[in-house]
Structure 1
Amino acid sequence: MLTKKRPLVLCVDDEIRSLETLERTLDEEFDVLTASSAADALAILEDNQVEAIICDQRMPGATGVELLTEVRQRWPEPARMILSGYTDSEDIIRGLNEAGIYQYITKPWHPENLLMVVRNACQLCQLQNENELLTMEMRLTADQVERNVSDKKALLKSGFQLNEIRRSDNSPLNQLCDQAARVAPFDISVLITGPSGTGKELFARALHYNSLRADQSFVVENCGAMPDELLSSELFGHKKGSFTGAISDHVGLFEQANGGTIFLDEIGEISPSFQVKLLRVLQEREVRPLGDNRRRKVDVRVVASTNRDLEEEVRAGRFRQDLYYRLAEVTLTLPELSQRKVDIPMLAQGFLEKAIVEFDKPVQGFTDEALVCMQAYCWPGNVRELQNEVRRMLVLANGEQLGADLLSPRVLRAAPAEEGSELELLAGLDGSLKDRIEALEKRILKEALIRHRWNKSQASRELGLSRVGLRSKLERYQLERVTSVLADEKSAASDCEH
């Protein structure tokens, strides 16, 4: 355990008994050095960093004020104190002006008073040293801080480049990313539509960081299920006392985003009355905080998103047409993950790389079988569900690769694309009972084998079959362990309709 270092005090007096008395009094709290002359004191100061000096005024050779004047010039940090039995006003004035004396102590002194004075002097010296170090550090690090901020901004921008969004060469997102790249530099409102979990906020950030506003703020507000008064306060701000609970002024997000971009998520959920308020802000480019009579100009680019069909909402009278056209100068529609299954291997690998860093649990990747099952599943939660599944697999893994046995049951039960016709037999009215039962039996066998990593002994025990019986069924249904990734997306996508 580290112990706190005691302050170092130098006592200077030509009388030995006086030095001994000072040392006995001070060594309760301080480390004490003694000198009987000015020359000895200067020699000690050459080799030691003291925090306080107590010096007798009347000494042979140099006086206390003369010594401390030289000390002030060469070592200004220690607190300097004069000890004297005389009260000559000239000495006191010279000590204050020339030597920068912290305290003039008269003899005879009281031990408790002396300890208190020296204690305060050492504390003052420590505070001065800390202040100088902080000031120097601020000077030295100002450029470094500026460089760090620039580096972080550059890193942030690089993470949201449209050409860095993970997708395959023939991904359905390619055309959408090209369109977003053309739109991003222009100061135009963008509406991003698509189901929940498809990455709408990712595209909103990419639009911002590829625009001329990239160095300014990007702020986000989820408008779903929020009362009008609270939403008004969040977006436009409020004055203290404007409503119950408003204990201080609040700057709204539109003002915080001034010069930058505001992302209004779930814009389709706002009420008709709030639609009117938002429309006025977009038209006039100014906000009025709740409880304030003044309007404030704002320069903000608006990017909004929704998982609703806003055109249908407009036709149904639930969303204002004029507000819709203000928000949807350009519309980007993100596809469901089931419509871009070719991207699943790259997306899963990207999520895995992030999770490996977060959990500090390195693995080599996914097995082909795991990727086949992942591509066969429909992912109703879209990209967000895939990310959660990858994180879950990594946490549960105890091997070098993430196998299909680590997948959630709902993903594992998804039929591979080549079994689509058999699923239709199960779900439809056509097909004999025997055909439907066999298709179901095949799925049960395959799921059990995957969960047990194709260990036939364990699978047969679970299913209540002998190894010979299980082997017979595998030959009958031609079930083999998957060794390659699915390539037929059209067939896989048909499963998601059920």
Structure 2
Amino acid sequence: MPTILIVDDEIRSLEALQRILYDSFDVKTASTPQEAETILQQEWVQIILCDQRMPQISGVDFLKTVREQWPDVIRMIISGYADSEDIISAVNEAGIYQYIAKPWHPDNLILTLKNAARLFELQRQNEALSIELKMMPEHLDRSLADRRELLRQNYQREDGIVRAPDSCMNRVCEKIRTVAPYDVSVLVTGESGTGKELAARALHYNSLRWDQPFVVENCGALPDELLESELFGYKRGAFTGAVEDRIGLFERANGGTVFLDEIGEVSPAFQVKLLRVLQEGEIRPLGSGRTRMVDVRILAATNKNLEQEVHEGRFREDLYYRLATVSISMPPLRERKGDIPILASNLLETAIKELGKTADGFTGEAISCMQAYHWPGNVRELQNEIRHMLIMSDTAVLGAELLTSRVLRAVPEEMPVLEDLAGRGGSLKERVEALEAHILRETLIRHRWNKSRAAKELGLSRVGLRAKLERYTLGKAM
């Protein structure tokens, strides 16, 4: 079990984090940097999670010391203050692996820390093999080329997009295959969680640049200054914390593809700088007086209507047309109900590998409930729902009762949506009966079709419940 050290001067925060992480990690706590150093000297710590605002010293300054004395420890900052200078300083001076903002979600925090523990283990393996690797450059070149070829073949064969044989996604995937070989900018649109990054990867691995880098930047997650430094790089002394030159993502991806996610969130000032890259193929690192030429294909994605943004003056028209040489629209999951069974199975396989817990699939009733729900968060929401089901399960097959209430309360297509009852035709009696049928179904699923428990909750006798089930023709889906 990985050992994690939490450093925070607030005792309640320490206790809360310890309770949440206790089952997954060997948790050590310290309320002062001095206590933390003592623990680091005595224990083999893999991860340190440190609060940024402490009375004696900032988290970044403390982790600089940790970096010097215990460089292998994965260092992470947790803070309720999202100051861009703090973030830049943390990343560059203290070598921070992750900057976690408060309030944090327990599941996301645990997943992030597990990834950090995996990174620590990979670093150790890398150190152990470094001498052998240096002696085998030709073998490494072949291995890397083989892996790139395998990845390319996977995206060429399946596009990386899981779907049913008769899916509406087939038209999207056909358009991706058609557009991919042409070295033009592509704008991928769609709601959050619809798989826009998967589409971008399919475009890259089916292009002539498939054997070159593919890099991703979320433009909506960073302020202008930090986004500019990430994409264009910077010279030493360009801003507080810039202690050395850094190459930006555009240069790292030279010859390959840059995917700019949430492009609709960038400010008008930054849009001008992106336009220069598209028009001239050149960048200027922060603090530098010289431009550098780059050769990259730019793919972009947004969940906004950029044409409307252009019309309202929030997005540059010239940049829009540069980005949208071709547009590809990703349909929401509610329009892909036929894909849900195969998507759910695929996501379950992934969750089993990540969480280390086994399952044999879903009941038919669980799949029916998933297909009845409208999935505002799309595939990403479905992924989280399946992880939740797997974690909470105590049976080999995952049943509908494991679904969260928002999914479980969704009604199938043959039943009227509750919000529409008031506007539906028919008598008051008919509309009330439709509502009653929905309540009966949701209660029975929650109680795994145990009629005694459902009848008790609803204040009915078993005979009365049975009569209502026969009346509404409600039965358990197999």
Report the TM-score, using the length of structure 2 for normalisation: 0.70
> Do structure 1's residue 246 and structure 2's residue 242 form an aligned pair?
yes
Quick one: which amino acid aligns to residue 450 of structure 2? N
Question: 3-state DSSP class of the match of 2:258?
Answer: strand
Looking at structure 1, the residues matched to 389 and 210 of structure 2 have their Cα atoms a distance apart, in angstroms, of 36
> 1:449 is matched with which residue?
444
After the TM superposition, which residues 74-473 of structure 1 pair with which residues of structure 2 at under 5 Å, given as runs? 137=132, 141-161=136-156, 162-224=158-220, 226-420=222-416, 423=418, 426-428=421-423, 430-473=425-468
Task: Please tell me the residue identity of whatever aligns with 2:286.
Answer: L
What CA distance in whole angstroms lies between the structure 2 residues aligned with 1:226 and 1:135? 34
- Does the aligned pair in 2 maintain the 1:425–1:436 contact within 8 Å? no
Would the aligned equivalents of 1:160 and 1:202 in 2 still touch at CA under 8 Å?
Answer: no
Query: How many angstroms apart in 1 are the aligned matches of 2:420 and 2:269?
Result: 51
1:322-356 residue CA offsets vs partner (Å, 9 max, x unmatched)? 11111000100001100111111111011011112
**CA–CA separation in structure 1 for the residues paired with 2:228 and 2:380:** 29
CA displacement, residues 356-415 of structure 1 (integer Å, 9 cap, x when unaligned)? 222232222111111111000000000100111111111111212111111111111000
Task: Decide which moves more: 244-253 or 338-347.
Answer: 244-253
- Secondary structure at the aligned position of 1:480 is classed as coil
On the 8 A contact 2:160/2:198 being kept in 1, the answer is: no
Q: Percent of pairs identical after alignment?
A: 62
Deviation at 1:144, TM superposition (A): 3.8
Q: 2:352, 2:358 within 8 Å by CA — same for their partners in 1?
A: yes
Distance 1:245 1:393 in 2: 44
Shift of 1:268: 0.7
The whole-number CA distance in structure 2 between the counterparts of 1:228 and 1:135 is 38
2:20 is matched with none
Structure 2 equivalent of residue 477 of structure 1: 472
Give distance in 2, aligned partners of 1:140 and 1:236: 34
Amino acid at match of 2:147: K
Q: Greater CA deviation, 261-270 or 236-245?
A: 236-245
Structure 1 portions without partners, runs of 5+: 1-132, 484-498
Shift of 1:147: 3.7
Report what 1:86 is aligned to: none
CA distance in 2, matches of 1:379, 1:388: 11
Superposition deviation, residue 154 in structure 1: 3.1
Given that 1:367 and 1:401 are in contact with CA atoms closer than 8 Å, whether structure 2 keeps it comes out as yes
Task: State the distance in 1 between where 2:131 and 2:275 align.
Answer: 51
* Counterpart-to-counterpart distance in 2, 1:216 and 1:311: 32
Offset of 1:227 from its aligned partner? 2.4
- Aligned pairs (5 A) from 1:8-47: none
Does the C-alpha gap of structure 1 residues 264 and 306 become closer, same or farther in structure 2, counting only changes over 3 Å?
A: same
Checking the alignment, whether the CA contact within 8 Å between 2:160 and 2:202 is kept in structure 1 is no
Partner in structure 1 of residue 88 of structure 2: none
Cα distance change, pair 425–246 in 1 and its aligned pair in 2 (3 A): closer
Distance change (3 Å), C-alpha of 1:164 and 1:275: closer
- CA 134–405 in structure 1, closer or farther in 2 if over 3 Å, else same: closer
**Unaligned regions of 5+ residues in structure 2, if any?**
1-127
Decide which moves more: 322-331 or 146-155: 146-155
Aligned in 2, Cα 1:247/1:403: closer, same or farther, shift over 3 Å? same
Alignment correspondent of 2:30: none
Change (3 A) 1:139 1:476: closer
CA contact (8 A) 2:259 2:299 kept: yes
Aligned-residue CA RMSD (Å): 2.1
Amino acid at match of 1:153: R
Letter matched to residue 411 of structure 2: A
| 1:274, distance to aligned residue in structure 2 (A) | 1.1
Residues 288 and 194 of structure 1: is their aligned pair in 2 closer, same or farther, counting only changes over 3 Å? same
In structure 2, relative to structure 1, the CA distance for the partners of 1:256 and 1:143 (3 Å cut) is closer
Within 2, Cα distance between the matches of 1:212 and 1:343?
30
Q: Comparing 163-172 with 235-244, which one deviates more in the overlay? A: 163-172
- Code of the residue aligned with 1:445 in structure 2: it is L
CA contact (8 A) 2:133 2:140 kept: no
Q: Which 10-residue stretch deviates more, 163-172 or 329-338?
A: 163-172
Counterpart CA distance in 2 for 1:475 and 1:148 is: 63
